[in-house]
Amino acid sequence: MPELVFFSGTMDCGKSTLALQIEHNRSARGLQGLIFTRNDRAGEGKLSSRLGLVTDAVEVADDLDFYGYLVDLLSQGGRADYVILDEAQFLSPTQIDQLARVVDDLRINVFAFGITTDFRSKLFPGSQRLVEIADRVEVLQVEALCWCGARATHNARTVAGRMVLEGAQVVVGDVNHAADEVGYEVLCRRHHRHRMTAATARAGALSPDVLPVDAPVMDGGA
């Protein structure tokens, strides 16, 4: 039976790599699929992994109707045995519902990949809808690690190495970034609560007054 499957995890846990592997496995068996993505690190219309793999994809716009897109393709004699969608967190709940209709009415498997929560530990609307209606939610088993070595469970936005909790929910960035740029870092819950990134931990270790484990909780911490 066709399914809507949501593969989730933090940044840096191999979601895009798995998406590319699923595409390779199916295309090698003669199946034809469609790949969609949004705001990929490699630029518009690309699906890429941090291992250096990249393939072309359809860039998802705010007004893209997935069900209409697939119906038009099939009506014109096209073929789609499956759909792969990366960066699913950036979709609207309406678009997630359209993907469910692709599965139910067109009988096409949809594999969606994305992070669940933003840099404030709040659910992305697209991810929330996927958790609500997906046939399966698979948490990826490749564990990203916090700078302390613990399992990373939270995505942090950084500016000049310091964690920030203000700003728009969607700001494109990556875990590999210049020191003065907006970037992202994966942290364990404890260090996300304390807003302690790798950079601030190093600074604290050099201070004679504050050790990283004793850093105070900033305003907004639990």
* Cβ atoms < 10 Å from Cβ of 165: 15
- pLDDT tops 70 at residue 13: no
Residue 47's pLDDT is 77
CATH number of the domain within which 80 lies = 3.40.50.300
Structural domain including 43 reads: 4-139
Q: Which residues are bridge partners to 82 per DSSP?
A: 33, 109
Q: Give me the catalytic one of 3, 23, 44, 87.
A: 87
87 is catalytic: yes
Task: Identify whether residues 27 and 95 lie together within a single domain.
Answer: yes
Most confident of 27-31, 55-59, 102-106, 156-160: 102-106
First CA to last CA across the chain, in angstroms? 44
Interval 24-70: pLDDT, tens = 899 899 999 999 998 776 667 777 776 667 788 899 999 999 999 99
**In the predicted structure, residue 167 carries a pLDDT above the cut 80:** no
**More confident site: 189 or 144:** 189
At residue 213, what is the residue type?
V
Joined tokens for residue 156:
């942090």
Would you say residue 149 lies in a domain? no
In a domain, 62, yes or no: yes
Predicted model pTM: 0.74
Q: What is the pLDDT of residue 152?
A: 86
Identify which of 102, 94, 112 has the alpha carbon closest to the alpha carbon of residue 22: 112
Bridge pairing between strands 182-187 and 4-8: unpaired
87 and 190 together in one domain? no
Percent of the chain residues past pLDDT 70, beyond the cut: 83
Residue with tokens 């942090």: 156
Amino acid 43: pLDDT: 66
